[in-house]
Structure 1
């Protein structure tokens, strides 16, 4: 590209007009996320899901105790998955985000 045309378009000859925008290196952009270590994500998931299953199991035991185990699990698993996806994991990842990418 002809630099004279570009600088003239941005007013390099006239001091009151803005200068051309600076070129930035995309490799230095802070928006590129670091890779998450999968074993750390697994450990964080286990640490979140175990207490959730225990607490939900204890909370629903008086209501679900007479049902067969597969039926109890059919109630507990979707409730646990919803709690993990929308409440627990976002909070754990926010709290432990730097550790996940180290």
Structure 2
């Protein structure tokens, strides 16, 4: 649960910076967020990455993913993020939605 809170705060940081630099519409163009994780930061890297990827793949982002770089120390910081200049296609205007349901047995 600790990692979900950290992932949420990382997304908040990225959201603030993207909005400041490019506006709110650019959030759905975020494709990659790089985070430095210190080996003494008391963070489970796999759990953090799972939480980050889950948050970055939903609104307001939509298609982002994360990459973690393990470093020495107790720091946890957003080192950079990538924004695609080509925005994703807009949602359907006719009010329909597309859902994909995958059944795994």
The TM tier, using the shorter chain, reads 0.3 to 0.5
- Bigger Rg over Cα: 1
TM-score (norm. length: structure 2):
0.32
Larger relative helix fraction: 1
TM-score (norm. length: structure 1):
0.32
